[in-house]
Amino acid sequence: MHTKLRVLVMLSITISYFGMAQQQSDSLKIEQLEEVVVTDSKFKLKRENSGKVITKITQKELQNLQGKSVADIINNTVGIEINGTRSNAGQNLNYFVRGGRNRQVLIVIDGIAVTDASQIANDYDLRLLNADQVESIEILKGASSTLYGSGAASAVINIKLKQVAKDAFVINLRSTFGTNQSQKDNDYAIENFLNSVSVSGTTDTFNYLASFGQQYTNGLSAVSSGEETDAFNTYNGYLKLGYQFSDAFKLNTYTSFDTFKAEFDEGFTFTDADNLSTTSQYRIGISPELSYRKGSITLNAAYNAIERDIQSSFPIQFKAESFVGDIYNKYNFSDKFYTVLGVNTQQNEIESLSIPFGESDFVQDINPENASFTIIDPYANVVYVSNFGLNVNAGLRLNNHSEYGNHVVYSLNPSVIKEFEFGYLKGLASYSTAFIAPSLYQLFEPSFGNIELKPEENTTVEVGAELHLKDKATFSLVYFNRREKNFVNFIDQGNFIFQYTNVEDEFTASGIELVADLALTKTLKLKANATYTQVDENFDLRIPELKVNAALEYQLNKKTFMNLNYQFNDDRDDTFFNNNTFESEMVNLKAFSLLDLYVSHIVMKDKLTVFTNCNNILNEAYEELFGYTTRGRNINIGFTLSL
């Protein structure tokens, strides 16, 4: 057995044994609400009745992660590595989930799949989202194209934005400031500022929420050899209005804007440069819901427009528009049989402009009249919850893509649960397929694009078990195997010509995910997860073979909370372009460990809380991406105020 895999299995056995011993020796009772998940079926189901692999980050947990970005928070989830979160604040993000890439991870915000046709992989940029606007996050692993369509191959990250206050008028303020320095700095200058304000309320039939957020971060150079710092500045605004016309019909509408400016350096020579990336996003959406006996009809529709302006030695501009509409009918047969029937439609287009060599004016590279596609997908999903322990989740979807015709994707997910006096034991299995259409950039970019690209196809198999000890602990162990066909890669064609091309050979990503959540005492909790990922050698760039996260949470008293976080990332391979040989070369990035501390104190109950966090306490030097800066020991202080 592989050494690292053996370590993971031994860790699983050790934690499980400790949990059983804890159940026998600790008689303290810890009250907790029954966990409910939504993402796997669009119904509110008890966790034990779900056969999917889901991680839920609640509002209470988010309150204990104040000062962190959305990407930072998600990066502690089992099976996920978001590369770029430990670097300069403006660093591009790469989502590696179960050996997959950005285009295989789908972001859903308030029921709407959000994509960005201006991105190479058509993925949503989490740097656009303010963590203070988030109510909760559910992360569904595995192929989920039956419910969510193209792109949901390795994970769906379902983000629910803040709920409105129940009172008529409530103001919430949050402010954080602190340092932003590398391991070699020790001046602890104040370079990081995050501020947000929201106003919300509810009357008999009307509710509203308006929020605004701002971040300014400086102090780090984007490249590790740089001397000049590169600033990151972002603004977020969000307005949601809701009206309850009757007991059966309600309507929610929203609009938002998000923008950021990120200074960056020259990535080929790893030298300082006065480069600037500006991104602006505008969204407007509507979500009516009609309820009837045992069911409801919901429409989620949104229009999204994004503009990107890259100022560098190779200036380029992108403009992208998308429309997403999802209408579905949910019906509940006596809390045993749940069905969803729906139709999802998307329309995306992209335009790009660049300045040719020797010219001074922008010219159009990608014409939106050609670079567009439409998707119309009917889908169905069924959940059966028996009274004898068998639960089944099954789905079917017909992907109708304007460029690629029809593709059928499906999923079958049985699980079996056995109730005991001490809790329950659940076994699960799933077989699911996914369809990933190439992005418009990959198809139509004049230098690198390839209109002959085929869509990627994924097949995922999962087998796992979950043990829940009442008021004590929850353990889960899952094996996954994801087989991929027609992988789209950026290939050197020779003579300095690169092009997006389908890789003919299939490749496999497989691994084990272990999660443990233990109440050691009434005031002390341990949360830990470990992921072992094995990816074919040609496709494993920046993906750690072994990653471990652990958090020790201590409620010192009714007012003071402490959280100690540990993260281990295994060594990884990366590539860089050698300007002397004019070739790409492989380099190994060493493994690293990070330790963070968070402390919060309630000054006035439900009114004022102060907090501080210290990241990378040991000031460990490490590389996240070859040639780029990472953050050293940093301290942030902040407060939240409700009026």
Q: Chunked in runs of 10, what are the mean pLDDT values of the chain (643 residues)?
A: 48 43 38 72 88 90 89 94 95 93 92 89 90 93 89 92 92 96 94 96 96 96 95 96 96 96 93 96 96 95 96 94 96 91 96 90 93 95 94 95 91 95 95 92 92 92 96 95 92 80 91 96 96 90 95 95 96 86 85 97 95 96 95 96 94
Does any domain span residue 240? no
**What pTM did the predictor assign?**
0.92
- The DSSP bridge pattern shows strands 134-141 and 190-202 to be unpaired
| Pair 217, 195: CB distance under 8 Å | no
**Domain containing residue 411: CATH number:** 2.40.170.20
User: 138, exposed or middle or buried, with CB in 10 Å at 0-12, 13-18, 19+?
Assistant: buried
For residue 98, the Cα-to-chain-centroid distance in whole angstroms is: 13
- 58 near 136, Cβ under 8 Å? yes
User: What is the extent of the structural domain holding 399?
Assistant: 3-165+173-235+249-642
- At residue 588, the pLDDT reads 94
pLDDT at 34: 67
Domain assignment of residue 571, yes or no: yes
User: Phi/psi class of residue 335: alpha, beta or left (left: φ > 0; alpha: ψ in -120 to 50)?
Assistant: left
pLDDT for residue 17? 41
Whether residue 243 lies inside any domain: the answer is no
Domain count, the chain: 1
- Any domain includes 242: no
Is the Cβ–Cβ distance between 298 and 330 less than 8 Å?
A: yes
Cβ contact 126:107 at 8 Å: yes
Q: What is the pLDDT of residue 2?
A: 54
pLDDT digits (tens, 9 = 90+) for 396-418: 999 999 989 899 999 999 999 99
pLDDT at 473: 95
Q: Is residue 317 part of a domain?
A: yes
Query: What integer pLDDT is reported at residue 268 of this predicted model?
Result: 85
Q: Does a structural domain hold residue 126?
A: yes
Residue 63 dihedral angles phi and psi, to the nearest 5°:
-60, -30
Q: Please report whether residue 634 resides in a domain.
A: yes
- In 3D, which of 415, 398, 409, 344 has the Cα closest to residue 45? 415
- Does the residue 342 lie in any domain? yes
